[in-house]
Every structure is written in structure tokens, then in C-alpha cells.
Amino acid sequence: MKRITMIVAMKQEAAPLIEQLGLTETSDISPILPCKTFAGQYKNLSINLVINGSDPLLGVENVGTQPATLAAHEALRNFAPDLVINAGTCGAFAEKGSKIGDVYIGERIRFFDRRIPLGGNYEAYGHGNYRCESAIELAEQLGLPTSTVCTGNSLDMSPTDEAILREEEIVNKEMEAAAIAWIASHYKTPLVAIKSVTDLMDSEHSTADEFAANLALASKNLQEEVLRLLDLLALQSDTAAA
């Protein structure tokens, strides 16, 4: 049976998936980290889902790169998945043709705010730049558009960030994927980043307002497309077993 681990930053993003797949909460993978785990079976797939949990002092969701890397590391160590799916929300540019609720699959994942102009390979190290070959094939089969998923630790963007982001053809700006790609690359485990647009970064509304207004819709669309992805993976796993 194919083992799939889904890593989702916020409980609001994960809720429709947990409900649709009928996943149940399992004992935490880490006695220290606040991440929460859910498990279940979908068709011939064994599914684990990890959310990053909330900050014990501030009560907010643990978004951003460090919780994502640590949750992914615990999940990769404990579940040894065949595939990691990072499902989440993102910002995008209307000018590049994106709309609220559009769902993309990352063909490439990079950091956009790690600028290390020290010569040698430091610049490339800063950018990350993880190419997701198996994700590209899956996107093609699902008929989903592909993007460059750009990861950083701010919800807003500085003018420098914006210039870097605009260089990419189709941009999904978010806060976790490259951090997960980094640790998944150590485990040599393929990663599919699937992202639903909550906010258009070039609209007249603030990113924070759009994010809050569209989180439920984007999470619902995300759940629908993740389910189509799981259906395809289940079919492939069946064919491989036959």
C-alpha cells in the first residue's frame, strides 16, 4: 500500500480534508512540538496528515518555515512515506492570470527571501530551487496549472521581495513549501506542493483582509483538488500492483 503524508500548516486549511477523508487524530509524533497528527485509509492509500499546531503562548497557528521543517522531519522519520503532499494556501498575482480559489501544483519550489550574495554556491543555496518532477507529471494528468511556489517568512512583501517574485512566470507566494522540500530532499522523498489562492497580491485590498475573507473558499477548493490527486495516486498504485 502506498504511504502518503500530508503536511498542512493551519488547522483551517486542513479541516475540510480531515473531514472528507474521515481521518482520526492519533498520538502526537513529537512530545515537544505542538504539531498534531491524523491518520486513516483512503482507497488503497495509507494517509497521515500533520498540522503544525498552535503556539503555546500566543495561541496562533504555527505558520512559517521552522514549524514546517520540523513537522516534516518528524513525519518523514516516523511514517517513511512514499510521497509527501504539502497542501496549503498562497498569494498570487492577478496580473499573471491568477484568481481567488485557483489551485496550482508547484513544478518548482524556491525561497524568495534568502539572499546570500557571498559568491560560490551561497546564492543558489539561499534560493533552494527544488524541481518537482513527479508533481509535474501529476499536474498534467489532473489538468491542473503549475507554478513556482515561492516561500518566505512574511505575509506581506517588501519591494525587493516583490521584484524577485515578479521575475517568476506564475507565482504562488506562501510560507512553508521550500522548508519542507529541503528536508524531503534529504530523505529523497518526492514532494507535491498543491496550493490554493487566498489573496491577490496586486489587488487594492490588503493581503491580510483577502486572506481572512477567502480562507474557507480556498481551503474547500484545495480539499476537492487534493481528493482528485489522491484518486489518481490510488489508481496508479492499483495499476502498479496489478
Burial 204-219 (b: 16+ CB within 10 A, else e): eeebeebbeebbeebb
Contact 197, 207 (CB under 8 A): no
Shortest Å, Cβ 10 to ligand SAH: 6
**Residue with the CB atom nearest ligand SAH in the bound state:** 91
**Does 91 interact with ligand SAH (rule: CB under 6 A)?**
yes
Is 199 in the active site? yes
> Pairing relation of β-strands 171-174 and 146-151?
parallel
List 61, 107, 199, 210, catalytic entry = 199
Q: Tell me, yes or no, if 61 is annotated catalytic.
A: no
In the complex, what is the shortest distance from the CB of residue 46 to ligand SAH, in angstroms, rounded to a whole number?
A: 26
Residue 144 gets which letter from DSSP? -
Nearer to ligand SAH, 209 or 238 (CB): 209
Catalytic member of 13, 174, 176, 210: 13
b/e sequence 144-176, b meaning 16+ C-beta within 10 Å: bebbbbbbbeebebeeebbebbeebebbbbbbb
Residues 46, 43: Cα–Cα separation, whole Å = 8
Please say which residue, 218 or 233, places its beta carbon nearer to ligand SAH: 218
Binding residues for ligand SAH restricted to 123-162, rule: CB under 6 A: 155
Q: How many residues does the chain have?
A: 242
User: To the nearest whole angstrom, how small is the minimum distance from the Cβ of residue 32 to ligand SAH?
Assistant: 21
Q: Which residues of this chain interact with ligand SAH, rule CB under 6 A? A: 9-10, 60-61, 63, 88-91, 155, 173-176, 198-199, 201, 207-208, 211
Catalytic machinery residues: 13, 199
